[in-house]
Amino acid sequence: MNIEAVKRLIRDVPDFPEPGVVFKDITPLLADPAAFAHTIELLADRLAASEAEEILAIESRGFIFGAAVAARLSLPLHLVRKPGKLPLTTVGVDYALEYATDRVEIHRDVLRPGIRFAIVDDLIATGGTAAATAQLVREQGAEIVSCSFVIELNFLNGRAKLGDCRIDSLIAYD
């Protein structure tokens, strides 16, 4: 199994969720146990070099990859969610979308000063959600040492919003 075989499993869905957008559908990748396992191994190998102490997975498809990588590396996993999805006291940050705003939140007790976190998500496009997550972590005195993605849409230049974060993407689309 190689990364090109994994890439062939990601299908384009035109005009979803709105006209003009080409959605990258990962469900065929998830349905292929060998390809999924290979993807997790690649993410884990790259992330291991960052010396992260804990993993942050971004809602919702990031949970799939983040959980598997955290288990593979024996690291704690924490969920970064949309507003109102976590049961305890949270901290959050608002961020701008093209025509609106959104928000990410995490349980208040997760982001402890000095802890080295890695962000894991399925895809980086414009980078807004990952950048908001990194901002939230830094505001609480913790550190982002790695941002790992299965897919990167280079033409949207999302990595520019992540500053000095080490960024690893397995598959890039120009």
Residue 9 falls inside a structural domain: no
- pLDDT of 120 strictly over 90: yes
If DSSP codes are grouped into helix, strand and coil, which group holds residue 107? strand
Domain boundaries, position 115: 51-173
Which residues does 92 contact at the CB level (< 8 Å), separation at least 6? 83, 103, 104, 105, 106, 136
Mean pLDDT of the chain: 96
* Mean pLDDT within 20-28: 96
- Distance in angstroms (rounded) separating the CA atoms of residues 169 and 148: 6
pLDDT digits (tens, 9 = 90+) for 86-105: 999 999 999 987 678 999 99
Residue 8 falls inside a structural domain: no
Residue in 137, 157, 159, 140 with CA at minimum distance from that of residue 148: 159
Report residue 125 as tokens: 């496009």
Residue 106 falls inside a structural domain: yes
| Total count of domains within the chain | 1
Q: What is the pLDDT of residue 5?
A: 96
Residue 12 falls inside a structural domain: no
Residue 1 falls inside a structural domain: no
Q: What is the pLDDT of residue 100?
A: 81
Q: What is the pLDDT of residue 134?
A: 97
pLDDT digits (tens, 9 = 90+) for 29-47: 999 999 999 999 999 999 9
Residue 30 falls inside a structural domain: no
Residue 94 belongs to domain with CATH number: 3.40.50.2020
Q: Residues, the chain, total?
A: 174
Residue 45 falls inside a structural domain: no
Residue 41 falls inside a structural domain: no
Report residue 120 as tokens: 């894991």
